[in-house]
Amino acid sequence: MATYLIKRLLLAVPVLLGVSVVVFTMIRLIPGDPAQLMAGQAATEEIIREIRETLGLDRPVVVQYAIFLRNAARGDLGHSLFNRAPVTEELALRFPRTVRLGVASMLVAAAIGVPAGIISATRHLTWVDSLVMVVALAGVSIPVFWLGLNLILIFAVRLQWLPAIGHETWAHLILPAVTLGTASAAIIARMTRSAMLEVLRQDYVRTARAKGVAEPSVVGRHALRNALIPVVTVIGLQLGTLLGGAVLTETVFAWPGVGRLLVDAVLARDYPIIQGTVLLITSTFVLLNVLVDMVYAVLDPRIRYE
């Protein structure tokens, strides 16, 4: 397992390099000049040129990338073009908030999606199965921003049970976590149902039932564990997406995470912030994929990595 982990981490290096090249190139194709935005509409060409020289934006793109890569290897992702704050400090401030929101959302999603999928699979082709799948389809189809605004309207404005915006307390976490978790719960429910249906048709499940094993034990001990591998895969991918920054949810609930930071940076053409945020999101996905593979070995001892 240790050898496998080292290989996976080494393979992540070219992935991060490729992502950095693509992001570095693409963001410089975005219309607009950061120096012009910083100087204002009334600034002269001389002022704009001085700002561009100060920020190093007048150098060739290849030179700029080489400097960025050299600094990134030392853990320095540069400074924001506008507030001059170190990018690492901005990410260190924002990312834990996104982690808190993402983990809470995934707990909501798993708590709803896994039981719903199990119930749907064990009541296959009944009205319960149909109801769960209709609700799951609705959960996937409902736009996140629409659901978030309606939750604010009901629970924050009319009932005044929960705060609408902010991140100071756990009460601020409930509405955005439910909003994000709803779509993921629907996806997890559908995957759990499909995996459980496949496992419940296996010979060892029929044998356990023929021996008189109680149905809860058949479902919980024999079927569920073997059906969890594809479910864990979906949960890992969904968690990576949430940790990458739920842009719409963070915007609706004024949650100061990396998603909102990325949107603000794109609008301001803040190149260092964009580069650092995307690299952080990519690293998160890579590490979560490695973690999911480790969970595979825990769930199924037959899995061995060479």
Closest CA to 175 of 209, 137, 208, 148: 148
Residue pLDDT tens, the chain, 306 long: 667 677 777 777 788 788 888 877 777 777 766 676 666 666 677 777 777 777 677 777 788 788 888 888 888 887 887 777 888 888 888 888 888 888 888 888 888 888 888 888 888 888 888 888 888 888 778 888 888 888 888 888 888 888 887 777 788 888 888 888 888 888 888 888 888 888 878 777 777 777 777 777 777 777 777 777 788 888 887 787 777 657 778 878 878 888 888 888 887 777 788 888 888 888 888 788 777 777 776 666 655 554
Q: Is residue 16 part of a domain?
A: no
Q: Supply the range of the domain harboring residue 187.
A: 91-299
pLDDT at 1: 62
User: Structurally, how many domains does the chain consist of?
Assistant: 1
Q: Is residue 44 part of a domain?
A: no
Q: Is residue 269 part of a domain?
A: yes
Q: Is residue 200 part of a domain?
A: yes
Its pTM stands at 0.76
- CATH number of the domain at 284, please: 1.10.3720.10
Residue type, 10: L
pLDDT at 88: 87
pLDDT at 269: 77
Q: Is residue 6 part of a domain?
A: no
Q: Is residue 245 part of a domain?
A: yes
Q: Is residue 53 part of a domain?
A: no
